[in-house]
Structure 1
């Protein structure tokens, strides 16, 4: 598929860069617009710090190792278990860096951690079934919103069309606070937005949208793994929110006007 042309459809092999730079509005863009329409325009033109952009992202490393081990091998390298302040350690690191190329470096302890997290996921029987089942990782779905006519897009971590399931992998530093993260990061919007896009392409809603949540923090010596789905009330609230945001997006595009002033209120303790 050409980067400049995105017809509604299900595309298993759109490159990541082409997807993110191509047409259509995504859930993450609606998140910005929800805060302020001007932030969406800002995100498209603000310069990026390439050095910071390349910084280690444990969440992405975990995601890659679980769902895209070939990408993990291509993009990440685990450093030697050797201190850099010894002669032997310096030699090992010099050999390692000579073959590094442009890969992102994980320290030996970080590499051990992401592998333990993956093993923890594979110890969960239902999670393992989802990881190993036939499906498409990072497939792209494009569709026209039936109300506004706007081109929408989403990229579920894994689509399993034969089962009628969608799955998204989330990392959290505290499994006990993930329920709050659902609201803070608008995961309740992600579910119906992706599900409605899926339904436009496959003629029916997915049987399940599952969040595979993995903790990056140890609890009782293990990295917790949980599988969650949202109840109908959360899905309904998320659908209402994204449809409202899409309407705002549509009106901003039609008028080419992207308001940017946000209103602040005093916190309850200060009132």
Structure 2
């Protein structure tokens, strides 16, 4: 692993956060007296494609395209059924909350989930000195709003960890729960689940120079590290994938269809059209 040293200082420049007072409301000066747990206030001031934005809305309500939306777009374009994998999403969401936002984690909300496994995975991560350092010196669960330059489409993403936020060399870290028990198998799953597309999308949102996927095995007390530079073949192929999908979404004006299917959690087969094929 060749990730740069993590700075201990924090900054919201280029990233989206919400400043709170002791009661969980926005501080004076933000001018939005809403509960911070339900809304985000976005302020991006980075150069080039990032612009200054002030938004008050739930992240999931934002009418922007995310990497998950691109998965829905793939099913629409190929006219194959899509069903959101609820069990996997619930497990992954609970694990991320326990690891990255422990103040929000509640065991009573983990119905039908293996709590012992969740805590075992959590201990596997925090007992690793490299991961421990990342968790201590990083921006967590940051929402990024950006405009993808080749398509002009407004996009969004929520990054697990960002290190080196005050430098010109930020890096994106993403934790993945996985059923694999070896590095080779995890690398294979990266292709199967299009993690190259996801990490390219994430990297380009903040001009990150490096990305690191950390696989957390559900079956063994093991971690798998896949680190890539932004000019690697892995990221280049992922970038090709997401830019192609964005162009098709734009050409066919699939925005409203994607937003509907996102809310519905599934996509059902329609009569195929030559435009999609």
**Normalised TM-score (structure 2):** 0.64
Note if contact 1:213-1:227 (Cα within 8 Å) is conserved in structure 2.
Answer: yes
Q: Does 1:66 align with 2:64?
A: no
Q: CA deviation at 1:53?
A: 5.9
Q: CA deviation at 1:260?
A: 6.1
Q: Does 1:35 align with 2:75?
A: yes
Query: Matched residues in 2 for 1:255 and 1:55: separation?
Result: 25
SS of the equivalent of 2:215 reads strand
Q: Structure 1 pair 210/53, CA: closer, same or farther in 2 (3 Å)? A: closer
- CA deviation vs aligned residue, 1:204-241 (integer Å, no higher than 9, x gap): xx2321112100103xxxx1112211361111111111
Aligned to 1:11: 16
Query: Matches of residues 1-271 of structure 1 in structure 2 within 5 Å?
Result: 10-13=15-18, 15=39, 18-37=58-77, 57-72=90-105, 75-77=106-108, 103-105=109-111, 110-135=114-139, 137-160=140-163, 161-162=165-166, 164-176=170-182, 177-199=185-207, 206-218=208-220, 223-230=221-228, 232-253=232-253, 261=272
**Normalised TM-score (structure 1):** 0.65
SS of the equivalent of 2:125 reads helix
Of structures 1 and 2, the larger Rg is shown by 1
- CA deviation vs aligned residue, 1:94-145 (integer Å, no higher than 9, x gap): xxxxxxxxx33467xx33322222111122221111112131x221111112
Q: Structure 1 pair 180/118, CA: closer, same or farther in 2 (3 Å)? A: same
**Larger proportion of helix:** 1
Q: Structure 1 pair 257/30, CA: closer, same or farther in 2 (3 Å)? A: closer
Instruction: Give the gaps of 5 or more residues in structure 2.
Output: 1-13, 19-37, 41-56, 259-269
Note if contact 1:120-1:224 (Cα within 8 Å) is conserved in structure 2.
Answer: yes
User: How well do the aligned residues superpose, as a CA RMSD in angstroms?
Assistant: 3.5
Instruction: Give the gaps of 5 or more residues in structure 1.
Output: 1-8, 78-102, 200-205, 264-271
Q: Structure 1 pair 15/55, CA: closer, same or farther in 2 (3 Å)? A: farther
SS of the equivalent of 2:151 reads coil
Query: Matched residues in 1 for 2:107 and 2:181: separation?
Result: 26
Q: Structure 1 pair 25/122, CA: closer, same or farther in 2 (3 Å)? A: same
